[in-house]
């Protein structure tokens, strides 16, 4: 039996103003890896000082957004009053729970923006938890060296290290920066995947290039990471099927419909300092 279960190709999406991402999850044939239900690869993109990234206030429910940058900065504001500049190497974990609104805007300066944003669905018993925002600086994340690679544990437990990021299910999220070759044994979780941001890696003598997500079968897996590769590993325990519409992820259609009605009627909280503008509810289904 092959160690590789599926390879997912990223699909280009225009988020507006010419800013494009590669959307990897959800994919038509594979919606989730552990609790992770969404992955966008942002950039690398050159952002002009007079045309910064502008993601207007928008809502989330029943999930956590996870932002991690390799280059550039994003200014995060949310309805809890959080106001944080997201910088490379820090992990930013916003638990929406029963509902939160946030905006993501670039600073008024020229920059190269490059990073990943994931969504982590919450277990049913935690879907209506109180919203929170965590900013974990780069210096607080555990790090180790495996052969020619620096390995940083961004969330959960892997390679004998546990990140301080507070999560609500058993999962892992790891950043690998390989200046030299490295042989890495994947953490033992029921569902796991790898995504090469740059470079490539090999499994069973097959090469997997950047821009594709490789989903692995259960059991031992060894990957050969090539020099110059930047990649992430992620996964965890499955938490069951989830429904998705736009920025809403939930275990029932009733909860999705309620969130749609609440956003359309203006019942979500405002974002202090960014109260005026917002993204309206779209008419078509997100996916």
pLDDT tens digit string along 97-148?
999 999 999 998 999 999 999 999 999 999 999 999 999 999 999 999 999 9
**CA–CA separation, 130 and 116 (whole Å):** 25
The average pLDDT across 78-107 equals 97
- 250's tokens: 């939930």
**CA–CA separation, 23 and 38 (whole Å):** 8
Task: Please list the residues that pair with 250 across neighbouring strands.
Answer: 243
**CA–CA separation, 163 and 219 (whole Å):** 24
Which pLDDT belongs to residue 64? Answer: 98
* Nearby residues of 257 by Cβ (< 8 Å), 6 or more positions away: none
The average pLDDT across 200-217 equals 95
**CA–CA separation, 4 and 169 (whole Å):** 24
Which pLDDT belongs to residue 29? Answer: 86
Cβ atoms 111, 144 nearer than 8 A: no
**CA–CA separation, 107 and 50 (whole Å):** 10
Which pLDDT belongs to residue 173? Answer: 98
pLDDT reading at 154 higher than 90: yes
- 101's tokens: 């609104």
**CA–CA separation, 227 and 182 (whole Å):** 8
Q: Phi/psi at 56 (nearest 5 deg)? A: -65, 165
* Nearby residues of 28 by Cβ (< 8 Å), 6 or more positions away: none
Cβ atoms 238, 33 nearer than 8 A: no
Which pLDDT belongs to residue 51? Answer: 87
**CA–CA separation, 108 and 148 (whole Å):** 37
Residue with tokens 């909860």: 255
pTM of the model: 0.95
- 22's tokens: 């590669």
Confidence of residue 10 (pLDDT cuts 50, 70, 90): confident
DSSP character at residue 169: S
């Amino acid at each position: 039996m092959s160690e590789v279960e599926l390879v997912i190709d990223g699909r280009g999406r225009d988020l507006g103003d010419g800013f494009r991402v590669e959307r990897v999850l959800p994919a038509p044939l594979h919606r989730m890896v552990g609790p992770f239900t969404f992955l966008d690869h942002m950039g690398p993109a050159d952002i002009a000082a007079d045309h910064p990234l502008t993601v207007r206030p928008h809502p989330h429910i029943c999930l956590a957004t996870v932002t991690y940058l390799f280059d550039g900065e994003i200014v995060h504001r949310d309805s809890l009053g959080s106001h944080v500049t997201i910088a490379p190497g820090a992990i930013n974990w916003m638990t929406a729970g029963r509902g939160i609104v946030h905006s993501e805007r670039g600073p008024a300066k020229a920059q190269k923006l490059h990073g990943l944003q994931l969504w982590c669905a919450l277990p049913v018993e935690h879907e209506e938890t109180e919203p929170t925002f965590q900013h974990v600086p780069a210096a607080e994340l555990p790090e180790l060296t495996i052969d020619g690679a620096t390995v940083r544990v961004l969330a959960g437990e892997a390679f004998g290290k546990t990140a301080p990021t507070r999560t609500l299910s058993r999962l892992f999220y790891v950043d690998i920066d390989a200046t030299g070759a490295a042989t890495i044994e994947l953490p033992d979780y029921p569902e796991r995947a790898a995504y090469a941001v740059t470079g490539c890696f090999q499994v069973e003598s097959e090469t997997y290039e950047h821009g594709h997500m490789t989903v692995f079968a259960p059991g031992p897996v060894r990957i050969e990471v090539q020099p110059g590769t930047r990649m992430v590993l992620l996964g965890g325990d499955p938490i069951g099927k989830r429904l998705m519409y736009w920025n809403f992820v939930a275990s029932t259609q009733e909860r999705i419909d309620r969130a749609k009605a609440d956003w359309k009627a203006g019942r979500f909280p405002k974002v202090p300092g960014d109260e005026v503008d917002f993204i309206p509810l779209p008419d078509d289904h997100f996916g």
